[in-house]
Structure 1
Amino acid sequence: MVQTKIASATRRPCELCPLRGRSAFRDFAPEELAFVSSFKQAELTVEAGGALIVEGEQHPQLYTALGGWGFRYKILEDGRRQILNYILPGDLIGLQGNLMSEMLHSVEALTRMTLCIFERERLTALFRNHPSLAYDLTWIASREESMLDEHLLSIGRRTALERAAYLLAFLDHRAHMTGIFTADVPHVLPLTQQHVADTLGLSLVHTNKTLKRLSEIGLLRWLDRGCEVLDRGRLLDIAGWQPAPEGLRPFI
């Protein structure tokens, strides 16, 4: 059974969705908004550390992240964890459950998260009656695939320093693009060094030494509550990576 730390789960119309109107996301057409509003069951709040999805379980729901951070991961039998990707506002969670008999990864809240809950069984109606929303789902899945391609390249071919620079630049870029970093919010990536180690496939000691090198040359500052990127441009140079240009992104 999923042990999710729930603060609240209440129905609220999509017109009040905090992602609508943000410059990074496209608006719904009126008929799309009406369908998504009926598609939506409720909103869910999950506290930091709460399990949203557990690998090996059949999961009956889909979610869209409205606020906060989460991450997808897998664990080996001996307890070693690999973080696959991070979840930010606008990301869809649980689509894999429509294609597989059970979930093949777990999802945990990194900070307090707010999510939309959707009726999985009505996904067929979305594809049948709203091709523009169906295309949005394809776009979201394709974008996730391209991010995982880049993560695999990083783990397979980049040095430890390049991996760390890439990860922090990537997350800082995504936080700015989704609007989670605003003028009145501290621009801090809510990671521990263990999260970084589990993402990069490095030991905690090696990760600590690598992050210390980046800190010593003035590219980041490690705080009790996470990491603050001070010079994303130089991190990008070290990683040898540039974000692909994007237009307005969809969300469901």
Structure 2
Amino acid sequence: MDEVRCSACPLRPLPLFIEHSGAELALVQSLKRREVHLRAGETLIHEGQTDAPLFTLRSGWAFRYKTLSDGRRQILTFLLAGDFIGVQQKMGDASAHGVQTLTEAQLCVFQRDALWELHRQSPSMGFNITWLTAHEESMVDDTLLSVGRRSAEERIAMLLIILFKRAAALQPDGGTSGVPFPLTQQHIADGLGLSLVHTNKTLRKLERRGLHHIEDGTLYLRDVNALARLADLYGDGKPAPRPLI
């Protein structure tokens, strides 16, 4: 499969991503090492790995997670196309989390020293890295708020609306035909600190109230305003324009 040049990346024309200069694109292209295509359920970064490269998720879904010694898993964030993966690991340190694909995924691969080169050669791109890192930290903060203070209904309402808005921003129709939703109920439970039984009951309860519908791996929101009120959502949940590395 022929590799896609950064200037021809199919994500760049989307309104979600800010426009970069020709020099910035050339710098990113010079730091890109290869592309990889993974199947669903493959591990991209192992917990404790010390040599993990950096990735940009070009298509598909993935998630960051941590596990306890007995195998219990907490999903930290769900990753969609355009997300920059691996920057949380410090140079030479072991990765404190793992990353696994939810679906088939295409990724662009960068060596870890690309971080130094982006900061050294382009302060604007270095700022973009900082922005992306802060943005992902804010998503983890939102998850912590949900797990610590929201009820099961509020947690799931928040997850549905945020993931719907993020996925819709990657579609030309803005989600009017629904958005892909590859999460199983176990993924939802692991992301929100709920039992599988409680997750199942709450999803069915929200669907009976006409708030959402999931069918054949597609999520439809039936009443966005009601979901937002239930989740106590700050703002409209629509992702802000962002850099694309």
TM-score, normalised on structure 1?
A: 0.90
Give the one of 51, 75, 90 matched to 2:82: 90
1:59–1:11 CA distance, 2 compared to 1 (3 A):
farther
Letter in 2 for 1:203: S
Structure 1 unaligned residues grouped into runs of 5+: 1-7
RMSD: 2.0
Aligned positions of 1:128-147 closer than 5 A? 128-147=120-139
Quote the Cα distance in structure 1 between the aligned partners of 2:223 and 2:16: 22
Residue 142 (structure 2) aligns with: 150
Question: Which stretch shows the higher mean deviation, 65-74 or 99-108?
Answer: 99-108
Aligned positions of 1:96-245 closer than 5 A? 96-99=88-91, 101-179=93-171, 186-225=178-217, 227-243=219-235
The answer to whether residue 54 in structure 2 is matched with residue 62 in structure 1 is yes
1:40–1:156 CA distance, 2 compared to 1 (3 A):
same
The answer as to whether partners of 2:164 and 2:219 remain within 8 angstroms in 1 is no
| Deviation (angstroms), 1:179 | 3.5
1:136–1:113 CA distance, 2 compared to 1 (3 A):
same
Quote the Cα distance in structure 2 between the aligned partners of 1:64 and 1:218: 36
1:208–1:122 CA distance, 2 compared to 1 (3 A):
closer
Quote the Cα distance in structure 2 between the aligned partners of 1:223 and 1:140: 32
Residue 34 (structure 1) aligns with: 26
The 3-state SS of whatever aligns with 2:89 is helix
Letter in 1 for 2:212: L
The share of aligned pairs that are identical, in percent, is: 43
1:187–1:178 CA distance, 2 compared to 1 (3 A):
closer
The 3-state SS of whatever aligns with 2:179 is coil
Give the one of 215, 226, 249 matched to 2:242: 249
1:181–1:60 CA distance, 2 compared to 1 (3 A):
farther
1:185–1:145 CA distance, 2 compared to 1 (3 A):
same
Quote the Cα distance in structure 1 between the aligned partners of 2:239 and 2:213: 28
Matched length = 244
The answer as to whether partners of 2:166 and 2:238 remain within 8 angstroms in 1 is no
The answer as to whether partners of 1:192 and 1:226 remain within 8 angstroms in 2 is no
Structure 2 unaligned residues grouped into runs of 5+: none
| Deviation (angstroms), 1:184 | 9.3
Q: Report Cα offsets for 1:34-68 as digits up to 9, x if no partner.
A: 11111111111111111111101113410011111
The answer as to whether partners of 1:63 and 1:92 remain within 8 angstroms in 2 is yes
The answer as to whether partners of 2:32 and 2:108 remain within 8 angstroms in 1 is yes
Quote the Cα distance in structure 2 between the aligned partners of 1:152 and 1:77: 21
Residue 44 (structure 2) aligns with: 52
Question: Which stretch shows the higher mean deviation, 10-19 or 210-219?
Answer: 10-19
Residue 9 (structure 2) aligns with: 17
Letter in 2 for 1:25: F
1:246–1:183 CA distance, 2 compared to 1 (3 A):
closer
TM-score, normalised on structure 2?
A: 0.92
Letter in 2 for 1:78: D
